[in-house]
Amino acid sequence: MNTERVMGDRGQLKWRKSSYSGTGGGDCIEVATAPGTVHVRDSKDRQKPILSFSHEEWSAFVGYAKTGYEACI
């Protein structure tokens, strides 16, 4: 993972968030994919740095989120 800003691609990325997020603009993240990379940002402050993960790192994170810590040990 890195926290470098994605300046050149920022405007070209197609951001999306879960339909469970609602429309209130609460505590949400937005995700965008690019070749070889998954980008994550805070929906409340889109100018903050973007977190960037490889597809492998993102898959591991999502797997952990779905199954919980014990399943990953």
Tell me if 5 is assigned to some domain: yes
What domain range is 64 assigned to?
Answer: 1-68
Greatest C-alpha distance within the chain: 39
Q: Which mean pLDDT values do the consecutive 10-residue runs of the chain (73 residues) have?
A: 52 83 73 93 86 94 81 60
Tell me if 14 is assigned to some domain: yes
Tell me if 50 is assigned to some domain: yes
Tell me if 73 is assigned to some domain: no
pTM > 0.75: no
pLDDT at 73: 59
Domain count, the chain: 1
Say which residues have a Cβ less than 8 Å from residue 3's Cβ, sequence separation at least 6. 49, 50, 51, 52
Calpha distance 68→44 (Å, rounded): 26
Tell me if 40 is assigned to some domain: yes
pLDDT at 38: 95
